Amino acid sequence: LEPGPKAVMITLNGYACQRRTPLQHHNTVLTEALLVLAENAEFCEDEGRNIAFKRAVSVLKALPQAVRKMGDLQGLPCLGEHSQRVIKEILEDGKSREVETTLQSEQYQAMKSLTGIFGVGVKTADRWFREGLQQPSDVARSGQRLNHAQQAGLQYYNDLNTPVTKAEADVISRIVEGVVQEVLPGAEITLTGGFRRGKQTGHDVDFLISHPEEGREEGLLPKVVSLLETQGLLLYQKTTRNSYLETKEGPARPPSNMDRFERCFSIFKLERPRHSTSPEEPPQAACEESPRGEDSALEQLAGERQDWKAVRVDLVVTPVSQFAFALLGWTGSQLFERELRRWAGQEKNMSLSSHALFDNKRKQYLRASSEEEIFAHLGLEYIPPCERNA
């Protein structure tokens, strides 16, 4: 009897921060479907279900090959009954009824459009939806009271929903670098977020700003922002002050998602390179097809196609003693971060934030000047940024 092809059982660790998750993977049909359900759970404020689907997705992303049959999933962590049901249906029928229904539902579509407005979260979007608003143009017409962020979000809706390219991120890097050097020579900027993980596009551009001498970074951000404003480079900005404090007892509150760095949420006004003369990758290709091009009211809202593009930029200032933690915390992915904190708490009795790592048993902070040291403190194998795409 000929031996059949040997079944190779893949084993994966239970926490995403113990796994290598590349940007490109073999199961996009499955992950895209499950992400719709994750997103829908988020819209319904069902966090448990949202995370469960995202964990399932991250396991599929880490697989070295495409899933072809349910047996391929044997022994894998984080694949709950619901996710398995969806996967089974897609493997058998090519699609999932639940996913199709979700994609077509009025609520899902409205929530997706409305939460796509910068400054609008699930709670606001849900209230608007229940008031009968379904898209940004409805909001504009309805005379809702909007805060400054939301006004900017509406005004630049099309641009802010067009992916930012790596080429655009590089142009912004040079602008930020120049301004930061002018304000404080010797200060350093680092591109973080998805671009540091190797993504070619993103929804925003994230930077850390620091100075090799502790304390020199204080007071830097308002000056940087004001210089950017003077140069007409900002369409919107909101700066929050640093509110981080260390105590002997450890982090004052359980580490939350929001960190306490001095930080500027902004919208840059980025010149579009001219077609013929620019050596840059022209962003036009990405902009031609607006994701909501059918909405003419919005086209008017955004005005004529300008020779600039609105781009979301986050500037975060960190003292050099916290730099490694900030770098790890801002590189993402979001799920990778969440899993790191869960690992620290559940497996190591430690509290990890973008500022520090605290050992709850020994009641002491564990210092680190590189990401490698933080992984070592946590007893984890080092995972480079390009493999943190969980």
User: Which residue pairs, CB below 8 angstroms and at least 24 apart, start in 242-249?
Assistant: 242/317, 244/322, 244/355, 246/355, 246/356, 246/365, 248/363, 249/363
Closest distance between ligand DGT and the C-beta of residue 329, in Å? 4
For residue 30, give the amino acid letter.
Answer: L
- Residue 152's Cβ-count burial label (10 Å; 0-12, 13-18, 19+) is buried
| Binding partner of 258, given ligand DGT, Mg ion, none, CB within 5-8 angstroms per partner class | ligand DGT
Residue nearest to ligand DGT as judged by C-beta position: 332
Residue 333 contact among ligand DGT, Mg ion, none, beta carbon within 5 to 8 Å by kind: ligand DGT
* Strand 205-210 with 364-365, pairing: unpaired
Of 301 and 312, CB closest to Mg ion: 312
Ranges within 163-222 binding ligand DGT (CB under 6 A): 193-194, 199, 202-204, 206
**168 binding Mg ion? (CB under 5 A):** no
Told to check if 334 binds ligand DGT by CB under 6 A, we report yes
User: Is 385 a residue that touches ligand DGT (CB under 6 A)?
Assistant: no
**Helical residues (DSSP H) of the chain, grouped into ranges:** 28-43, 47-62, 81-93, 97-104, 106-115, 122-130, 136-142, 148-155, 157-160, 166-183, 193-196, 220-230, 284-288, 296-302, 323-331, 334-348, 371-377
Q: Which stretch binds ligand DGT (CB under 6 A): 65-73, 231-239, 281-289, 328-336?
A: 328-336
Give percent helix, percent strand, percent coil of the chain, each to the nearest 5.
45, 15, 40
- Binding flag, residue 342, ligand DGT (CB under 6 A): no
Which long-range contacts (C-beta less than 8 Å, at least 24 apart) are formed by 103-106? 103/36, 106/134
Element (H, E) at 313: strand 308-317
CB of 330 to Mg ion, least distance (A): 9
User: Binder to Mg ion among 136, 153, 193, 319 (CB under 5 A)?
Assistant: 193
Selection from 311, 303, 236 nearest residue 272 by Cα: 311
Q: Cβ closer to ligand DGT: 91 or 386?
A: 386
Quick check: 344 and 378 in contact, CB under 8 A?
yes
255 binds ligand DGT (CB under 6 A): no
Contact between 259 and Mg ion (CB under 5 A)? Answer: no
Among 126, 159, 204, 295, binds Mg ion (CB under 5 A): 204
Asked if 354 interacts with ligand DGT (CB under 6 A), we say yes
- Does the footprint of ligand DGT cover residue 272 (CB under 6 A)? no
Is residue 283 involved in binding ligand DGT (CB under 6 A)?
no
- Residue 116 contacts ligand DGT per CB under 6 A: no
Number of H helices, E strands in the chain: 17, 10
d(C-alpha 320, C-alpha 371), whole Å? 13
- Select from 12-20, 135-143, 180-188, 332-340 the region that touches ligand DGT (CB under 6 A): 332-340
Verify binding: residue 202, Mg ion, rule CB under 5 A: yes
Query: In the complex with Mg ion, which residue's Cβ is closer, 30 or 164?
Result: 164
CB of 116 to Mg ion, least distance (A): 15
Cα separation, 27 vs 388, whole angstroms: 17
Contact 164, 204 (CB under 8 A): yes
Residue whose CB is less far from ligand DGT, 133 or 332: 332
Q: Which residues 206-245 are close enough to bind Mg ion by CB under 5 A?
A: 206
Closest CA to 387 of 9, 25, 10, 26: 25
Shortest distance, CB of residue 200 to Mg ion, whole angstroms?
A: 13
- Chain positions contacting Mg ion, by CB under 5 A: 193-194, 202, 204, 206
- Chain positions contacting ligand DGT, by CB under 6 A: 193-194, 199, 202-204, 206, 257-259, 329-330, 332-334, 337, 354
